[in-house]
Structure formats: structure tokens, C-alpha cells
Chains A and B, each alone.
Chain A
């Protein structure tokens, strides 16, 4: 029998080891798996490389994971947002590494990692500072930069609905990086608002096929990051 449902967020993240590469879904708050990130803070794995579009807000979720000094390197496209305070401070002090990647290149690197494609060429960043040190090749008279696929050890994902096979549906723009991150991690850990019986998700509508998912945990009422930030809440 296949049953990917686990009973707690702590059980869900228990395999994450020191030095792991961890993908974290979300675009700002939308799609950010706050409960799984907080469980990772409790779990305590260190020296992580985290791949996420942003660096978290306030003192909750990804920002709290960084503040707790569990992240040695961030790979992201936009590390500062209006409420981002933790990462900028550590970065200015030279206490956290940053690999800045254009957003589309980041998405494609993750997708390729999941699809078994080691590298690809793209025109994005040609002639800019982000091209430096990268191979440039011409195809049909146009220049392209070589970028590498990104494989990870773990992915932490928020979705709307899951079944015990790990088939997933998302909610609106909270989908963002979720589906491609599920594909490129060796072990994908998902928090779902709703868990349904097999067959209740229309096979025509499945967004992430269950083969890409390792564990699912039920979080019926995920916290609102915006609300926690407006209350000045700190997870640490």
C-alpha cells in the first residue's frame, strides 16, 4: 500500500540533514510552507543551502530559519522585499552567501534538475554582470549563456489539496515554484490544506503527479504570514 501521509510536521522534516540543499516554495507569502519551515527550525539541521525566490519576511518562516543561522547560502532572484529585514542584515555583515539568479533562469534550472537535464543555454543575462564567469555560445547569430540544472535533496512545498498518492492541486498564484520544486528534489515534503480520498482529484486536473512527492502532512489552517508580521510575531 502506498500512503505518503505522515502525522506531523516534525515527522515530515525529520530526515533533513546538515548541509542539505532545500527548495522552499513560495513567491512572497503566497505558497510559502510556513509550518514546514518552522518544523525545520525545531529540527535544527544546519549549513543548509536554500533555494527560494525571496528570503522571507519579518521574523517568521524562511526569515526565521535564516535568523536561526541554519542557512549558509541562499539561491534566489529577489532577496529583498518590503518586509525583509533578516537577510539584508546578515548579508551586509558577510555572514550569509548569496547566489543571485534571474527569476526565469532560476525556474528553468529547477525544472531541468527535475527533468534530468544537466544544463541549458538562455539569452537571459547576456551582456550583464550576471553573465560573468559563465560560458557564452552563439546560436544562429545570437548569444546565449550556459546555466546548470539545479538538483536538491529536499523540497518544502505548500499546496491546497493532496491525496495519499501525493497527487497535488494548488491555489491560485500560490502555485508558483511548487510543481517544479516537487520534481527536482530527491525528497519532496508537502503541507496540504485538504487531504482527499483517491479519485476525488480529477485525473485531468492533477497539477503535480504523485510520483514527485515523498511525504504529505495535513495543515488545515496554515498561519497567515502577513498577519503574523502585522502582529510583530517572531518564531524564534
Chain B
């Protein structure tokens, strides 16, 4: 939750900010959940090809009700469509696209991001949880640019942007940019630099509500 801060970005606005930063001609992998919204906001004058790790380049919009196909799904196992010019391939080819550095951008959710760009997004480390990793570690290890979309706070009101991740890592020094409901933040060798803030957020407030150290360009 957002501690009822006024003037912050909605989920749709966060997705729109990301979409605006995706260049024409990019190959993009969207994670499950919130990242999927990004596809709705690609500017009309740009051609962006969406990859899903279960073997499709050229993911299209959701099918109309009644036109779902059990054998045409995305990584979240939801029905999708395939655009004209799309192609299907097997899992080793799909992950060669990811691990071989052919995918330009991936957009993922997060439990925690550290100020060095470490990402934790697959396990909270609880002992009775069933561990499940999917393709997250492959994406952060192989994709050229990693964008994170997440609420600034956890459900308990804690900062998700931390000095050191306490949850099990997905990858070390892998995140390039963080889009929260409060701000857009670059991860650089010199630390975290704020690019933009939501209308109701100023830098002092942002610093007070972020565990990791923040800088302005």
C-alpha cells in the first residue's frame, strides 16, 4: 500500500512511463503481473516485439472471450494472441534469446532492490514456502537492460529500495532502472539517481521514505 500519499503515479501511469522509455524496434520480455500492463502503452508510432519465454516472439493482445486457445499462452499461463510476423520456437532457443543477450529489455517486479542493483524477486525465504524460480534468474543474467516496476513500499509500508537485500537474490548488480509509484530511479556505478518524481513527491520526502541512499543528477 502507499500509506495514502497523495499525488503518486497509478499502476497504469507507471506502466506508461516504462513504455515511453522503450525505443522503437526493441525486443522486450514482460514479467508476470504488473509488468504486463506496459504492453498497453507503447506509443502508436513505435514497433516493439514482445517475447514470452515459453516460445513466442510477437505476443499480441489478449484474445476476445471465446477465442482463447489452451496452446497459445504467455509465461503467466494466460491466453494471448500472436501478431502477424510472429514465430514459435522451443525452450532452449527461447532462453538462448534471453541468455545470449538478444532481448533488449525486460520488465520485472521486485520484492527488494539494493542500491547496487541487486534484485530479489523470486522468494521471500520463508521455510514453508514452495521455492519456484521460473525464468527470473535467466532474464536478469542475460537481458541487456533490466527495468523494475514496483510499488515504492511493501504491503507493510517498508521501503523496497534497500541498502542490502535481505531476501534471497535473483541476481547481483543486474537492475538498470526502477519505476515506482513515487519516482523513476537510475541504478549507476555511483549509486541511485532520481530521474523523475510523481507530482506529489519531493526529494526530501523520497529520501525519508527510501532506505537506500538517493542522489539527484
Determine if chain A interacts with chain B: yes
Q: Which of chain B's residues have a CB closer than 8 A to the CB of A225?
A: 70
Interface string of A88-125 (1 = CB under 8 A from B): 10011000001011111111101100000000001111
Chain A CB count within 10 A is highest, among B52, B72, B77, B137, for: B137
A153 at interface by CB-CB < 8 Å: no
Which residues from 51 to 96 on chain A have a C-beta closer than 8 Å to any C-beta of chain B?
Answer: 77-82, 87-88, 91-92
Contact A177 B91 (CB under 8 A): yes
Number of B interface residues, CB 8 Å?
41
Q: Which of chain B's residues have a CB closer than 8 A to the CB of A173?
A: 52, 54-56, 71-74, 88
Number of A interface residues, CB 8 Å?
51
Contact B133 A102 (CB under 8 A): yes
Chain A, Cβ-Cβ closest to B128:
A92
Interface string of B106-131 (1 = CB under 8 A from A): 00000000000010000100001011
In whole angstroms, how far apart are the Cα atoms of A178 and B89 in the complex? 10
Q: Given A126-B141, A176-B54: A111 and B133 within 8 A (CB)?
A: no
Q: Given A122-B99, A129-B169: A102 and B137 within 8 A (CB)?
A: yes
Least CB distance, A206 to chain B, in whole angstroms: 13
Contact B98 A104 (CB under 8 A): yes
Chain A CB count within 10 A is highest, among B82, B95, B141, for: B141
In whole angstroms, how far apart are the Cα atoms of A108 and B54 in the complex? 14
Chain A, Cβ-Cβ closest to B68:
A226
Q: Which of chain B's residues have a CB closer than 8 A to the CB of A6?
A: none
Which residues from 169 to 202 on chain B have a C-beta closer than 8 Å to any C-beta of chain A?
Answer: 169-172
